[in-house]
A and B are shown apart, each in its own frame.
Chain A
Amino acid sequence: MRALSVLWILLGALMLAGCAKKPTTVPEGAGSTAEQSGTAAGQGEGQIGEGRELPGASGSPTGGPAGVAHIIYFDFDRSDIRPEYASLITSHAKYLAGASAVKIRLEGHTDERGSREYNIALAERRAQAVRRALMLQGAQDTQLTTVSYGEERPAVAGSDEAAYEKNRRVELVYGR
């Protein structure tokens, strides 16, 4: 058993050594690699099960125009922005147009129904709809990034329409 553990340690060391020599070219469109590889390699077992607070999923959103909501809700299997959100979009777009250094991340979500990867695509389409609406009113492309979580990060638990309508959303997260 001891020999086995030693073997694992040696294997691990070899792998890490091998790692350091590999080229770390970044695929097009990828972010900082140093941080990313650090995260993956440091993902020890102790971290499993602890989880962490989700950005935007709870607590009070920060940044952006005062007194304006940060979440846009959608109809089932739709990605068009309902007319009631016109003023919300305008407020955020104007704020961004006036503060070119500010960046926001548009996080798209769906409810839990249907296929997971299809929902990833649907949530991305929702985030893109918000991105285009913000750009039409003055926000710059460079200020906006999108990420789609599909049905993976519901705002609320539950399998009824009340839960579903809170989960079909795009969250505008400032400072990302």
Chain B
Amino acid sequence: MIFRRALLLLCALAWPMSQASAQLTVQILRGMAESVPIAIVPLAWEGSGQAPWDIAATVQSDLERSGRFRALKREQLIEQPQTASEVDAADWRMLKVDYVLVGKLSPAAEGRFELRYELVSIANGERLLGTTMPVDGKALRRASHRVADAVYEKILGVRGAFATRIAYVAVEGPVTKRSYRLVVADSDGANEYTVFGSPDPIMSPAWSPDGRSLAYVSFHTGLAAVYVQTLTTGQQVRVSAKAGINGAPSFSPDGKQLALALSQRDGNVDVYVLDLGTQALKRVTDDPAIDTEPAWSTDGRSLYFTSDRAGAPQIYAVGLDAGARPRRVTYDGSYNARPRVAPDGNALAVVTLDRGAYRIGAVDAKQGTLQVLSSGQLDESPSIAPNGADILYTSRVSGRDTLAIVSSDGRIQRQIAASSGELREPAWSPFLN
């Protein structure tokens, strides 16, 4: 099918400053027995009056929320050193702490600050981190996430993903009168705002690889169409509004192409790739079965997708070179759908039917073997953190959709509770600069 030069710009006004209503809190359901004991000493404030932000509290909350650290309570801190040289390892050893984070925040010119922090290993007294960074007065929370990222990486050997964002769909109201909002928030649920709102369904948000745009499906015209919205300007561009289904958008690793699911007039759903620059549309699958939910391989040369060509939904992979034939990836279980590819390309997160319950599973991309990770009854929509360590997904709890996180090895489980409404289809952003 020929896709003509056909781009309609819809300049929907976004509301970047508006606050959404639901407050998010994270509860750790299952942690790691071997979580790392750490002390986060409140940062010394070198200015007058109150410190403008409690950086240590945000760092502590980030590390604890990951389920991989347990931090000493503030009242248990026996002393409050400000530099690595002031840390007395013998004292902290008595408190069974492996690491101590200390630092200072000082005022600088024009509403800016200087943040200095050091991480000390108590086992050998070695200073593992010593960093001084300038911070904008409006970016103190963000700077705190960066400190947590650095500590996480130094101790665990994996880049932290605290200074990232999440997108999700918030739904409120009874079934006959619902409202839908596409929301973006920091990875800890703070600073949330509505990107787009509609009385009609919004679905399938997907981040562009630069973290600046979201692709999603909206029914606000009465029919499904795929849109790409730039977060800073709010500009919404309709990129696909063909007859039938326009769904499941997924950006290519270079951000130039969008894989999506389209149906012909006869309802046959197949996977296509749309070039966002030239509008050229290329058909990737051609099968009378349902082919949907495309996800790019990390090298951008093939797509994973869901197909029921063998009778029930399973995961397949197909190369993007002409004439490539799809290969079946999953064989374990009677239902595997909605693949998402891990950053290292070696694993897929999927929705799997496990003994009558829909759960999040991890599939070995080469062997096809499946490990069930979550333990809910109706878990869906997995999205992998940019560091590959965690999977964010939707879980039905007490009749309501809410967000949950499971570590990619299944050992740590967390639930994110919203104060109101339902939260679904989370999408974890890439690393942000």
Chain B residues close to A by CB (< 8 Å): 1-13, 15, 17-18, 172-179, 181, 194, 196-199, 201, 203-204, 219-225, 233-236, 238, 240-245, 247-248, 261, 263, 266-267, 269, 290, 292-293, 306, 308, 312-313, 335, 337-338, 351, 353, 358, 377-378, 380-381, 396, 399, 425
What are 14 A-B contacts with C-beta separation under 8 Å?
Answer: A31-B222, A36-B238, A37-B8, A40-B11, A45-B194, A48-B181, A48-B194, A48-B197, A51-B173, A51-B177, A57-B175, A112-B378, A114-B335, A156-B175
Contact present for A31 and B306 (CB under 8 Å)? no
Q: In the complex, A100 Cα to B258 Cα: how many Å?
A: 39
Q: Hey, which chain A residues are within 8 Å of B199, CB to CB?
A: 47, 50-52
Contact present for B176 and A116 (CB under 8 Å)? no
Given known contacts A51-B179, A53-B177, A122-B290, A117 and B267 CB-to-CB distance under 8 angstroms: no
CB distance from A145 to the nearest CB of B (A): 8
Contact present for A117 and B219 (CB under 8 Å)? no
| 0/1 string, A103-136, CB within 8 A of B gives 1 | 0000000001111111011101101100100000
Q: In the complex, A125 Cα to B241 Cα: how many Å?
A: 18
Q: In the complex, A158 Cα to B174 Cα: how many Å?
A: 11
| A153 in the interface (beta carbon within 8 A) | yes
Q: In the complex, A173 Cα to B240 Cα: how many Å?
A: 25
Contact present for B293 and A115 (CB under 8 Å)? yes
| A23 in the interface (beta carbon within 8 A) | yes
Q: In the complex, A31 Cα to B221 Cα: how many Å?
A: 9
CB distance from A56 to the nearest CB of B (A): 11
Contact present for B235 and A49 (CB under 8 Å)? no
Contact present for A159 and B201 (CB under 8 Å)? no
Q: In the complex, A140 Cα to B361 Cα: how many Å?
A: 45
Contact present for A28 and B201 (CB under 8 Å)? no
Question: Which A residue's beta carbon lies closest to that of B198?
Answer: A43
Q: Hey, which chain A residues are within 8 Å of B221, CB to CB?
A: 31, 35-36, 39-40
Among the listed A12, A39, A50, A146, which residue makes an inter-chain contact with B13, where contact means beta carbons less than 8 Å apart? A12
Q: In the complex, A121 Cα to B290 Cα: how many Å?
A: 6
Contact present for A114 and B351 (CB under 8 Å)? yes
Q: In the complex, A44 Cα to B236 Cα: how many Å?
A: 14
Contact present for B263 and A25 (CB under 8 Å)? no
Given known contacts A27-B6, A45-B197, A48-B194, A117 and B18 CB-to-CB distance under 8 angstroms: no
Q: Hey, which chain B residues are within 8 Å of A11, CB to CB?
A: 233
Among the listed B178, B223, B377, which residue makes an inter-chain contact with A51, where contact means beta carbons less than 8 Å apart? B178
Question: Which A residue's beta carbon lies closest to that of B311?
Answer: A77
Contact present for B8 and A33 (CB under 8 Å)? yes
Contact present for B173 and A25 (CB under 8 Å)? no
From residue 83 to 107 of chain A, which have CB atoms closer than 8 A to chain B? none
Contact present for B12 and A41 (CB under 8 Å)? yes
